[in-house]
Amino acid sequence: MSNMKTSIDPAVNYLLPLAQKAGIETAWDRFEAMKPQCGFGELGICCRICWKGPCRIDPFGNGPQKGICGADADTIVARNLARMIAAGAAAHAEHGHHVALTLLEIGEGHALPYKIKEEKKLRNIAERLNLNPEGKDIKQVAKEVALASLEDFSRQKSSIPCNWAKETLTASRVEKLVELGVMPHNIHATIAEIMHRTHVGCDADAVNILLGGLKGALADYTGMYLSTELSDVLFGIPEPVVTAANLGVLKEDAVNIAVHGHNPLLSEIVCDLAIKMNEEAKKAGAKEGINIVGICCTGNEVMMRRGIPLATNYLSQELALVTGAVDAIVVDVQCIMPSLAALKECFHTEVITTMPGNKIPGATHLEFSEETALENAAKIIKLAIDAYKRRDRSKVNIPDYKETAIVGFSAEAVLAALSKVNPEDPLKPLIDNIVNGNILGIALFAGCNNLRVTQDHNFTTIAKELARNNVLMLATGCGAGAFAKHGLMTQEATEAYAGDSLKEVLTVIGEAAGLNGPLPLVLHMGSCVDNTRAVNLAVAVANKLGVDLDKLPVVASAPEAMAEKAVAIGTWAVTLGLPTHLGIVPQVIGSPLVTEVLTEKIKDLVGGYFMVETDPKKAAVKLVAAIKERREGLGI
Ligand code: MSK
């Protein structure tokens, strides 16, 4: 392996040598074997969209400067980027579509093992979507909200923006996006539009393609927003809960079931049923019964809503199995390494895929449907209990590492905590402290792990620097997982790393909210689909101040971005007006034009822009500078 440290996670550093000794291959080995990675791909100048190719542009100017069809580097880079955004948007769209369809079925009275947990939130959503819920039966409201959400996948009139985009942004942002022609009217149509315009022989104007990409990113935002809000309706609004993170949450004397992926529709039922089937596990010899743990964003979902501990984040998912203590890993969609099934050969673990469009050769496929969710979950738990009986105790190596994490800071939970300080005007304490400088600004950490950097290192380094500078921090996805694993979602972290004024504010709010101490240093806002929770809060602040989002001292950072979804999220963050940091060099720099548009010119259009900085300390300096520039703009 190279000299770059693989991870700062002690559990990873404990297990990786064991894996290597046992000849078990992990992502880190495959990353090494892949080197040197394709330079054309890294620069984004490889085109594979037709069978005349593949074509690639010579970045040094000596070889071909155009593909066989005549597309130049700008066109190729812009097309590749737009297609990544479309793929990210498709992932979130499918997630949101699935949840909305489930809500519709509930509204129509179908017998499903789900119920509406948050009636008040559902009615609030209905009001927000102008559906006038007053006096209506809750099932009727569910049906109308589901149909209004599904309309965002089916509307044919391109002049009418998606409901969830129009009703969740500031009026001035909506106006700007409509004016730019990047407001989506239909999520699926917008994805299809990108796939069409980037087809061979279509849009060759890089800037025009990028505008299509912004529209795709806003389609992604729309799908994400409705996913999160409707999931809250069905499964509950997250509230602060104390739990734990890292592989030490696995238990030697329990049937350990890891839930992994993104969609809570199955994992919620597995969690419910695990309580009921606990005795069965005990009868099988597991003294501590069933222990559900989470990985990646299904992990974040159940951690936020139920306090289920998080085993690990994206990059170390294979190592969960290397502990030899996971009896079943149940996966749904997205960010699941196909290599998990191969690990099944070395351990007793049942690797169970559940979604029709997400199968892995070698895994056990147990198809999930909403109608049969209870039976599916029961079968999964039975498979896990059987596997537990086969567990080879000599192969069990649970690293003794776990950290406390206080998680569950939905927008509602943050407002509830603030309302303890000022019941009449909950946002006032937050805004006052931003205005007086006690809080310099707000940073949203999002995104994945990426092997190109030391796992979790960028997240923790930037966060400690921002904390020192009194920046309030929110996190989602595998970034949130990183902070949870490294103890930065604790009150102790606030004491240790927050600047004096930030510490004071977090203490006042935390004490008022009954936490007997400060709020944690980084607030866990959920899975990667939940980034819209941060927008919810930012829009409330912007509306209260009477400014648009691009005026707020709010920044975003994806220090280890990896997935197409992260590309889509980063792009909508920029489109909504946020300076957005990437800690990984994006695959666009083969086009100076595209690079310039994304990092500079776009600022004139939407206010936001990308900043690329791979050094986490320098990234923190740049993020603080961006916040200060916004503060100056506001005259504070
Ligand atoms: S799981 S998209 S690695 S955050 Fe949401 Fe993590 Fe990124 Fe997947």
ipTM of this complex prediction, to 2 decimal places:
0.96
pLDDT at 6 over 70: yes
247-395 CATH, one of 1.10.4080.10, 3.30.420.40, 3.40.50.2030, 3.30.2130.10? 3.40.50.2030
User: What per-residue confidence (pLDDT) applies to 636?
Assistant: 96
What's the confidence (pLDDT) of residue 2?
53
Two structure tokens written together for 30: 């495959």
Return all residues near 208 (Cβ < 8 A) that are at least 6 apart: none
Q: Establish whether 50 is an annotated binding residue.
A: yes
Q: How far apart are CA 230 and CA 102, in angstroms?
A: 10
Q: Rounded mean pLDDT of 222-244?
A: 98
Binned at pLDDT 50, 70 and 90, residue 52 comes out as very high
Cα 79 to Cα 216: distance, rounded to the nearest angstrom: 12
For residues 226 and 96, the answer to whether their CB atoms sit within 8 Å is yes
Q: Is 337 in the pocket of ligand 1 (CB under 6 A)?
A: no
Q: Say if residue 3's pLDDT is above 80.
A: no
Closest CA to 403 of 313, 270, 527, 526: 313
Nearest atom within ligand 1 for CA of residue 262? 5
- The residue count for the chain: 636
Q: Residue 330 and residue 558: Cα distance in Å, rounded?
A: 27
3-state secondary structure 179-226: HHCCCCCCHHHHHHHHHHHCCCCCCCCHHHHHHHHHHHHHHHHHHHHH
Q: What is the CA radius of gyration of the chain?
A: 24
> Between β-strands 46-47 and 55-56, what pairing exists: parallel, antiparallel or unpaired?
antiparallel
**Ligand 1 mean position to 562 CA, how many Å?**
8
Distance 537 CA to ligand 1 centre (A): 22
DSSP codes of every residue in 136-192: --HHHHHHHHHHHHHHTTT---TTS--HHHHTTS-HHHHHHHHHHT---S-HHHHHH
Is 365 among the annotated ligand-binding positions?
no
Q: Which residues contact 393 (CB under 8 A, 6 or more apart)?
A: none
- Mean pLDDT calculated for residue range 454-481: 98
CATH architecture of 73-235: Up-down Bundle (1.20)
> Which residue among 297, 301, 315, 317 has the greatest number of ligand 1 atoms within 8 angstroms of its CB, and so is best to mutate?
297
Question: How far separated are the first and last CA of the chain, in Å rounded?
Answer: 49
Q: Check: CB of residue 486 under 8 Å from CB of residue 480.
A: no
Integer angstrom CA distances of residue 145 from 229, 303, 583: 11, 26, 38
| 3 state SS for 465-479 | HHHHCCEEEEEEHHH
Q: How many angstroms does the Cα of residue 120 sit away from the middle of ligand 1?
A: 30
- The amino acid that residue 604 corresponds to is D
In this structure, which topology does domain 405-634 adopt according to CATH?
Rossmann fold (3.40.50)
- Tell whether 69 is in a known binding site: yes
* Averaged pLDDT, 52-76: 97
What's the CA-to-centroid distance between 481 and ligand 1, angstroms?
Answer: 10
State the pLDDT at residue 367: 95
pLDDT over threshold 80, residue 276: yes
Q: Kindly give the distance from the C-alpha atom of residue 583 to the centroid of ligand 1, in angstroms, as a whole number.
A: 15
Is 526 a pocket residue for ligand 1 (Cβ < 6 Å)?
A: no
- Strand positions, DSSP E, 354-440: 364-365, 403-407
CA 490/CA 547 separation, integer angstroms: 33
Q: Does 247-395 match 405-634 in CATH topology? A: yes
C-alpha angle 45-49-54 in degrees, rounded to nearest 5: 60
pLDDT at residue 572, rounded to an integer: 98
Q: According to the model, what pLDDT value does residue 344 have?
A: 83
The per-residue b/e assignment along 530-549, b for 16 or more CB within 10 angstroms, e otherwise, is bbbbbbbbbbbbbbeeebbb
User: Does the beta carbon of 314 lie inside 6 Å of ligand 1?
Assistant: yes
**Predicted confidence band of residue 277 (pLDDT cuts 50, 70, 90):** very high
46 is in an annotated binding site: yes
| Closest atom of ligand 1 to CA, residue 527 | 5
Strands ordered across the beta sheet of 310-312: 364-365, 350-353, 328-331, 255-261, 290-295, 310-312, 241-245, 403-407
3-state secondary structure of 510: helix
CA of 251 to the centre of ligand 1 (A): 25
Contact between 558 and 583 under an 8 Å Cβ cutoff? The reply is yes
Structure tokens belonging to residue 273: 């049923």
The answer to whether 55 is a known ligand-binding residue is: yes
Q: Is the CB of 447 under 6 A from ligand 1?
A: yes
Whether omega for the bond prior to residue 553 falls within 30 degrees of 0, making it cis, is no
202 is in an annotated binding site: no
pLDDT above 90 for 197:
yes
| Token output for 222 | 């729309």
Bridge partners of 582, per DSSP, are 558, 612
Confidence of residue 285 (pLDDT cuts 50, 70, 90): very high
Atom of ligand 1 nearest to the CA of 477: 4
- Chain segment 131-160, per-residue pLDDT in tens: 999 999 999 999 999 999 999 999 999 999
Pocket residue to mutate for ligand 1, from 315, 478, 569, most atoms within 8 A of Cβ: 478
Q: Ligand 1 in contact with 269 (CB < 6 A)? A: no
Q: Where are the domains of the chain?
A: 10-49, 73-235, 247-395, 405-634
Is 346 annotated to bind ligand? Answer: no
Q: Is 335 in the pocket of ligand 1 (CB under 6 A)?
A: yes
> Is any atom of ligand 1 closer than 6 Å to the C-beta of 566?
yes
Q: How many CA atoms lie within 13 A of 27 on its CB side?
A: 22
| Ligand 1 lined by 480 (C-beta under 6 Å) | no
The two three-digit tokens of residue 118, written as one number: 């948050």
For 587, phi then psi, to 5°, come to -80, 60
pLDDT digits (tens, 9 = 90+) for 379-406: 999 999 999 999 999 999 999 999 999 9
Ligand 1 atom nearest to 448, measured from its CA: 7
3-state helix, strand and coil shares in percent for the chain, rounded to the nearest 5: 55, 10, 35
Question: Which whole-number Å values give the CA distances from 69 to 112, 173, 200, 356, 541, in the listed order?
Answer: 52, 38, 8, 37, 49
pLDDT tens digits for range 240-267 = 999 999 999 999 999 999 999 999 999 9
- Does 271 appear as a known binding residue? no
